[in-house]
Amino acid sequence: MSGGASSLATPDAGSDVEERVLFRTCPLCEAACGLEITVQGERVEKIRGDRSHVLSRGFVCPKAFALAELHEDPDRLRRPLVKRGGHHVEVGWEEAYAEVESGLMPLVEEYGRDSIGVYLGNPNVHNHGAFLYLPAVLESLGTTNRYSSSTVDQMPRHVSAGLMFGSPFAMAVPDLDHTDFLLLLGTNPFESNGSLCTAPDFPRRMRAIRERGGRVVVVDPRRTRTARAADEHVSIRPGADALLLVAMIQVVLEADLCDWSRLGAFVKDLEVMAEAVSAFRPEQVADRCGVTAARIRALAVGFASAERAAIHGRMGIHASAFGTLASWAVDVLSIVTGNLDRPGGTLFPSAAHSVPMGGPSGPGFETGRWKSRVRGLPETLGEFPVSTLADEILIPGAGQVRGLLTVAGNPALSTPHAGRLETALEALDFMVSVDIYLNETTRHADVILPPPSALERSHYDVVYTSLAVRNFAHYAGATFEAKGPAESEILAKLALIFGGDGATADPSRVDEMLIQRVLEGYVSDASSPVYGRAVQDLRAETGGRGGPDDLLDVMLRMGPYGDAFGRRAGGLSLARLEAHPHGIDLGPLAPRLPELLATPSSRIELAPPTILSDLERLEGERVERVGSGLLLVGRRDIRSNNSWMHNLPSLVSGASRSVLHVHPEDAARVGVEDGEEVIVASRVGRVRVVAKLTDEVMPGVVSLPHGWGHDRSYMRMDVARSHAGVNANLLTDCRLIDPSSGNGVLNGISVSLLPARESSRA
Ligand SMILES: Nc1nc2c(c(=O)[nH]1)N[C@H]1C(S)=C(S)[C@@H](COP(=O)(O)OP(=O)(O)OC[C@H]3O[C@@H](n4cnc5c(=O)[nH]c(N)nc54)[C@H](O)[C@@H]3O)O[C@H]1N2
Ligand SMILES: Nc1nc2c(c(=O)[nH]1)N[C@H]1C(S)=C(S)[C@@H](COP(=O)(O)OP(=O)(O)OC[C@H]3O[C@@H](n4cnc5c(=O)[nH]c(N)nc54)[C@H](O)[C@@H]3O)O[C@H]1N2
Ligand code: SF4
Ligand SMILES: [Mo]
């Protein structure tokens, strides 16, 4: 997998266009691998890992090669689509923008700004143009009905970070390359390539831990590829990680295995925390976890006594009813054992860019500043849980969502109780999607605005350089010139339309507004190295590339390694990054506490009230009887990327992966045979799917990957349609959320199983 080359397209035999080799970044997942792309004219000849890339050193996965297929996919939209008489027809850009204005603005006028909902999907965090321009769209739209894939993903991590450290973005990552003990919970980086932990070539890094005498433990209800490569696999009953972790903390505190040598001075409410966890002894949680008390104790002692121990939990622990609590417990275990903010433990990365906007900062992180209309759910980071989007669309009343904008999202496949969400999308008065496909979600849109392909834009990872296991910076220009407006330009147009400037306003006004605003912030900040300088002078020194790259230049120059517009000689700027096509290594992660702390107490809050009440809720869980039903969990595989890459032939070839994994014992009990069709039913839906018997899943657990179910009409995804699979989110339940973060519960869903041949019985 690492460094392998693959031929994707045969160049014209007689072509005399010169071959060019370009060093780029893969924008598909959090690993952010460096690529070496060979192109001839407008064609990709070869994509392989960039062996000189500072972080990925040649590693890539099979999805990198599919970037060329994505670029060339005939189904990928190149021109806007507008729905006329129930069918999508291609129109010019001006006409499409005019249609957006005439479709959405009357709703704003008649029903107010909250009548327009917004859903932002995952690819936005892999695209700095979208990421930097979306705040302008949200600001000019001014709706509280904001939703994103964050509430079916990492929102619990933001909330626990906000409560403990004062900043929702203070997320520590495991120092993989220096640790002696790695504890992974609910993550399968051998397939996902890691999450909230940018570490290309996770397998190599994990192997290195074992080679230097360290130990790796994986906690997962499935014996995943990652678990198989570890020293120890702990199978856990879905949803029980918070219990397991809190019991481990209890063991460490009771046996006094703590290390307070450095963090002791920065923590608050240690006694309150210790008292709150004291009831969670291993013996009391063992049954619910499906892990013996002795093993829980051994795990706690092993972690605490390792020289340097790193802990990391992801989707399996976050997308659960106690996601925020589990995320808090991960950090607390790290803190009490002295492993937070120390090399070999977990550390806070330092990205090269400054973060001039977005996100609450400073003392007093809060959630629930406003509540959702129908279910009264608290906002987190200015968003409502996507699990309640269908409620807000379908249930009448003042403030009902009547129009929707989706940007790079496919909630019809990705979000709980997807069947109901599709009904809701159908019921909207007007819907606009910024997307590259006519798919399960965008088929409901009245207007689809397609940005250029991933190879037609520059790349700088604004999100994942803040979550990498080594500090680094990498900028790559576009591989091909864009054939249509950049995504940032489309978003700028939407910002102008929503702001009342009209569909014909010049989008460069938004470019200028964003950059001026950021510069004004710096020159008026007395602690900034450019304090007092003239905005127009700094603007004149910036970029000249236009759009998001000029803004990025400012963020780099004002960042911790930046040149501060000439104040720090040799510092970073976009031009300097461009001169390093394999990226710049900024060194290993280093301690950042207490400077990073932004809590009112300026200390780490060990016992925030939200967490204390979650612990009380967990107490009920502790005594809950273990039921006899089956629990559904998800899974990812290396050739998938959520819901949207199934139209690329190389990623869907071979046997269907949209199959239900069932443990042979459970299969025998229900009378299901290997390869047989079964009906899986939950409170909200049912699907018919092929069962595969495997002891990879623990007894009592079944597993079905998400992102499939491409069997809808009116889509333009022919390859995906012929590899449709089933939508796992027809089974997940929109009523189940982690109340502290609003995150959807995607794992541990109670389901029943029946051979399809007996379905008439059901
Ligand atoms: N059951 C279950 N459900 C899950 C998960 C799970 O583990 N289990 N995982 C959850 C997670 S972690 C996530 S992040 C979400 C993802 O949820 P979403 O973000 O809603 O879904 P994606 O499948 O990422 O869809 C991305 C959309 O963006 C479009 N797109 C791709 N590239 C671009 C681009 O460059 N620009 C634009 N404008 N559009 C583009 C695609 O066509 C597609 O419509 O799914 C969640 N859903
Ligand atoms: N190939 C591929 N790579 C991807 C993606 C993809 O779809 N495909 N999606 C990307 C995105 S958006 C994200 S957010 C990341 C996610 O990256 P990861 O968090 O690594 O995601 P998963 O591979 O789903 O791993 C979650 C694991 O949790 C386990 N699990 C389920 N329930 C529980 C539980 O209750 N407790 C514990 N301890 N474990 C449980 C599952 O069996 C599974 O192995 O991956 C990214 N990378
Ligand atoms: S691991 Fe992620 S970033 Fe690296 S090549 Fe694969 S999809 Fe791209
Ligand atoms: Mo995600």
Closest CA to 592 of 267, 309, 328, 346: 346
Which residues have CB under 6 Å of ligand 2?
29-30, 122, 153, 185-189, 191-193, 195, 219-222, 224, 236, 238-239, 241, 314-317, 320, 633-638, 640-642, 747-748
> pTM here?
0.96
> How many angstroms separate the CA atoms of 658 and 690, rounded?
8
Given pLDDT bands bounded at 50, 70 and 90, which one contains residue 360?
very low
Least confident of 83-97, 317-331, 360-374: 360-374
Residue 238 has pLDDT above 60, yes or no: yes
pLDDT of residue 761: 55
Given pLDDT bands bounded at 50, 70 and 90, which one contains residue 625?
low
pLDDT of residue 1: 39
Cβ-contact 49, 3 below 8 angstroms: yes
> How many angstroms separate the CA atoms of 236 and 219, rounded?
6
> How many angstroms separate the CA atoms of 463 and 121, rounded?
14
User: C-alpha angle with apex 192: 190 to 195, nearest 5 degrees?
Assistant: 110
Mean pLDDT of the chain: 95
Question: Mean pLDDT throughout 659-675?
Answer: 97
pLDDT of residue 2: 41
Pairing mode, strands 743-744 and 737-738: antiparallel
In the Cβ-directed half-sphere of 433, how many Cα atoms lie within 13 Å? 27
Centre of ligand 4 from the C-alpha of residue 497, in Å? 30
pLDDT of residue 361: 52
The pair of structure tokens assigned to 265 is: 């001075």
116 phi and psi angles, rounded to 5 deg? -105, 120
In the Cβ-directed half-sphere of 255, how many Cα atoms lie within 13 Å? 18
Could you read off the pLDDT of 91-139 as tens digits, one per residue? 999 999 999 999 999 999 999 999 999 999 999 999 999 999 999 999 9
Cβ contacts of 7 within 8 Å, gap of 6 or more: 45, 46
pLDDT of residue 760: 64
Could you read off the pLDDT of 243-271 as tens digits, one per residue? 999 999 999 999 999 999 999 999 999 99
Least confident of 353-357, 378-382, 392-396, 425-429: 353-357
Assigned architecture for domain 628-761: Beta Barrel (2.40)
Cβ-contact 706, 728 below 8 angstroms: yes
Could you read off the pLDDT of 429-454 as tens digits, one per residue? 999 999 999 999 999 999 999 999 99
- Residue closest via CA to ligand 2's atom 4 equals 192
The pair of structure tokens assigned to 410 is: 């496919």
Q: Quote the percentage of the chain above a pLDDT of 70.
A: 96
Beta strands in 122-194 (DSSP E): 146-148, 173-174, 181-185
DSSP state of 180: S
Could you read off the pLDDT of 41-54 as tens digits, one per residue? 999 999 999 999 99
Higher pLDDT, 73 or 621: 73
Domain 81-149+367-449: assigned CATH number: 3.40.50.740
Cβ-contact 743, 379 below 8 angstroms: no
Could you list which residues have their CB under 5 Å from ion ligand 4? 153
Centre of ligand 3 from the C-alpha of residue 133, in Å? 24
pLDDT of residue 624: 59
The ligand that comes nearest to the alpha carbon of residue 198 is 3
Could you read off the pLDDT of 194-223 as tens digits, one per residue? 999 999 999 999 999 999 999 999 999 999
pLDDT of residue 5: 41
Q: Which residues of 156-186 are buried (b: 16+ CB within 10 A; e: fewer)?
A: bbbbbbbbbbbbbbbbbbbbbbbbbbbbbbb
Centre of ligand 4 from the C-alpha of residue 414, in Å? 10
Could you read off the pLDDT of 147-181 as tens digits, one per residue? 999 999 999 999 999 999 999 999 999 999 999 99
pLDDT of residue 172: 98
Q: Please give the number of the atom of ligand 3 that sits closest to the Cα of 67.
A: 8
Residue 13 has pLDDT above 50, yes or no: no
Q: Quote the percentage of the chain above a pLDDT of 90.
A: 93
Question: Mean pLDDT throughout 278-289?
Answer: 96
pLDDT of residue 626: 56
Cβ-contact 171, 197 below 8 angstroms: no
Residue 296 has pLDDT above 60, yes or no: yes
Domain 1-72 in this protein, CATH class: alpha beta
Cβ-contact 369, 384 below 8 angstroms: no
Whether 61 lines ligand 3, by a CB cut-off of 6 Å, is: yes
Reduced to 3 states (helix: H, G, I; strand: E, B; else coil), residue 604 is: strand
Alpha helices in 436-546 (DSSP H): 487-498, 508-523, 535-540
Cβ contacts of 98 within 8 Å, gap of 6 or more: 503
Question: Mean pLDDT throughout 517-546?
Answer: 93
The ligand that comes nearest to the alpha carbon of residue 66 is 3
Centre of ligand 1 from the C-alpha of residue 645, in Å? 10
Residue 362 has pLDDT above 90, yes or no: no
Fold (topology level) of 175-353+593-616:
Dimethylsulfoxide Reductase; domain 2 (3.40.228)
